[in-house]
Amino acid sequence: MNCFHCGAQLNDSSFCPRCGESVVEYKKIIRTSNAYYNEGLAKAKVRALSGAANCLRRSLKYNKYQTNARNLLGLVYLEMGDGLHALVEWTISCSLQPEQNPAAEYLEKTQGDPVVMDHIRQSIKKYNAAVSYVQGGNDDLAVIQLKKVVELEPKMVAAYQMLALLYMKRSEFGKARKVLAIADKIDSDNTRTRQYILELVRISKGKRSGRERLKSVETNEDRILYKSGNDTIIQPTAYKDNSWVFAFANIAIGIAIGLAAAVFLILPMRVQSVKKEYQQKEQQLYAQLEVTPAPAAVSTQSPQPTVLTEATGSPAPTDIPAGTPGPEQTAAPTAGATQEEKDVFGDADLLDVDMSRSAEYYYELAQQNFSYEEYDDSKMFAQQALVIDQEHLESLYYLGRSYQMLEDNERAVKVYEKMVSLYPDSTKWQIQDAKGYLEELQ
């Protein structure tokens, strides 16, 4: 230990042997700084990174020339995914001690690798963008950005914590629990991570106790408990005779079986007999008119009645305009679309669409499946809704979101562009979100 005034080597005396300056308080400061450094080193060895960082910062408050504490603090920051602060601490360390400083080697290895530097810059940029999205209320975009952050910087504890908060806000507690487990594995002494884990435990206990109370109430309504000596007797509150229910069920099953037999056995035979009778009458009519009938062809369609004219008694021709659609012929809303548009927005020839339904019906199914994270089914129902109504805004929105969650960004961009082109001046939230997603994906 050197004197702070003249730089001479100090001994056990309370005064400097060269200049005579009192060094009692100075020795206390140096010892306190060294003690905090030793404590931070011990915590860093067991991955209590937050506690280690606090101890090392206190050590530097007492002695800013404690090079070992500053270098270790930079390593702790790097292990927590905060590469920017690590570079700052090592740069300060090199400026205070230019010679024989391990921080110079740390800087050379980090700054000399362009991939590492690019990951540090991109992770900070995307993390700040996620914070801006959260402040603006765009939680979905914030989740996307934070997922990219943890891909670039898998040890960034702050990103895992914010991602867990967003999952908890959306009531996705399972995902929040997994994210917090990763953050706790990286830093086992982070107070904020511990608070979030305790909050999840409290929420799960509250749900469990609520279910138990409901079960207890339901059970106690159906029974009476009382004791006779040392015995506990359970008596039902009332006896319910449910025999009429079974009798009614048996009658209903019998009626259903009878109807099924009539439809599948009796009705086809009756139809065949009516067809034969009709063919016989038709042949008799041709014989009376001295017209040789054409052989009856086997057909699955219902026979058309022959209309006779009053003047000649011969069959009257029935003129049907060519190209007139039958009762089941409908023009597909996607007819005339290109193959690329059919791939994105759905093909009426491939999708099983009930045209008697409305687009709202399939839209609600798409929205429900999207909330359950069934993105393939959500995409299919949204396409079915667009087969009925090509400009249905809500179905277009969930079709684009499903493509985006399935990581098919090219088709998602086409859907969002169609939304903006159909409703360029709309102030609806779907259009605003579509514009934001377009900026993000392009």
User: How high is the pLDDT of residue 162?
Assistant: 92
Please give the Cα distance from 179 to 146 (Å, whole number). 11
The residues near 144 (Cβ < 8 Å, ≥ 6 apart) are 440
75 or 241: which leads in pLDDT: 75
User: How high is the pLDDT of residue 190?
Assistant: 87
Range name among 312-321, 328-337, 402-411 with the lowest pLDDT average: 312-321
Please give the Cα distance from 233 to 240 (Å, whole number). 19
pLDDT tens digit sequence for 119-148: 889 999 999 999 999 999 888 999 999 999
Tokens in use for 273?
């007999």
432 or 308: which leads in pLDDT: 432
- β-partners of residue 224 are 235
Q: What percent of the chain is modeled with pLDDT above 90?
A: 13
Range name among 13-17, 107-111, 230-234 with the lowest pLDDT average: 230-234
State the Cα angle at 354 between 351 and 357, rounded to 5°: 130
| Residue 114 pLDDT exceeds 70 | yes
Positive or negative, the Cα torsion across 420, 425, 428, 433? positive
* Residue 322 burial (CB count, 10 A): 5
Quick one: pLDDT band at residue 20, thresholds 50, 70, 90? low
User: How high is the pLDDT of residue 128?
Assistant: 92
| Residue 83 pLDDT exceeds 80 | yes
Please give the Cα distance from 405 to 399 (Å, whole number). 10
Please give the Cα distance from 85 to 257 (Å, whole number). 78
Quick one: pLDDT band at residue 289, thresholds 50, 70, 90? low
User: How high is the pLDDT of residue 219?
Assistant: 46
Phi, psi of 163 (to 5 degrees): -65, -40
The answer to whether 363 and 382 are in contact (CB under 8 A) is: yes
Q: What percent of the chain is modeled with pLDDT above 70?
A: 71
The answer to whether 233 and 227 are in contact (CB under 8 A) is: yes
Positive or negative, the Cα torsion across 4, 5, 10, 16? negative
Tokens in use for 236?
């039902």
CATH topology identical between 24-110 and 117-209: yes
pLDDT tens digit sequence for 317-368: 434 333 333 333 333 444 455 666 666 676 555 676 778 788 888 888 888 8
User: How high is the pLDDT of residue 129?
Assistant: 92
Please give the Cα distance from 212 to 218 (Å, whole number). 10
Tokens in use for 269?
């035979």
| Residue 315 pLDDT exceeds 50 | no
User: How high is the pLDDT of residue 144?
Assistant: 92
pLDDT tens digit sequence for 181-217: 998 888 888 888 989 889 888 887 766 555 554 444 4
Please give the Cα distance from 410 to 417 (Å, whole number). 11
Per-residue burial over 389-406, b if 16 or more Cβ lie within 10 Å, else e, is bbebbbbbbbbbbbbbbe
Please give the Cα distance from 118 to 124 (Å, whole number). 10
Burial bucket for residue 4 (CB in 10 Å: 0-12, 13-18, 19+): middle
| Nearest by Cα to 70 from 45, 42, 32, 36 | 36
Tokens in use for 392?
């249905």
The answer to whether 92 and 100 are in contact (CB under 8 A) is: no
Helix axes 139-152, 429-441, angle to 10 degrees: 20
| Residue 103 pLDDT exceeds 60 | yes
Quick one: pLDDT band at residue 218, thresholds 50, 70, 90? very low
| Residue 72 pLDDT exceeds 90 | yes
Q: What is the DSSP string of 68-99?
A: HHHHHHHHHHHHTT-HHHHHHHHHHHHHH--S
User: How high is the pLDDT of residue 317?
Assistant: 40
| Residue 22 pLDDT exceeds 50 | yes
Delimit the domains of the chain by residue range.
24-110, 117-209, 341-441
Please give the Cα distance from 89 to 80 (Å, whole number). 14
CATH topology of domain 24-110: 1.25.40
User: How high is the pLDDT of residue 298?
Assistant: 36
| Nearest by Cα to 148 from 167, 164, 125 | 125
Average pLDDT, the chain: 77
Please give the Cα distance from 60 to 122 (Å, whole number). 30
| Superfamily classification of domain 341-441 | Tetratricopeptide repeat domain (1.25.40.10)
pLDDT tens digit sequence for 38-70: 999 998 898 888 888 999 999 988 888 888 999
Tokens in use for 389?
């109504």
Q: What's the first-to-final CA gap in the chain, in angstroms?
A: 60
The answer to whether 47 and 187 are in contact (CB under 8 A) is: yes
The residues near 414 (Cβ < 8 Å, ≥ 6 apart) are 344
Please give the average per-residue pLDDT across 2-20, as a whole number.
Answer: 64
Long-range interactions of 136-142: CB distance < 8 A, separation 24+: 138/433, 138/436, 139/166, 139/169, 139/170, 140/433, 141/436, 141/437, 141/440, 142/166
- Specify the amino acid at residue 375: Y
User: How high is the pLDDT of residue 308?
Assistant: 36
Strands (E), 240-357: none
User: How high is the pLDDT of residue 442?
Assistant: 76
User: How high is the pLDDT of residue 35?
Assistant: 92
What dotted CATH number matches 117-209?
A: 1.25.40.10
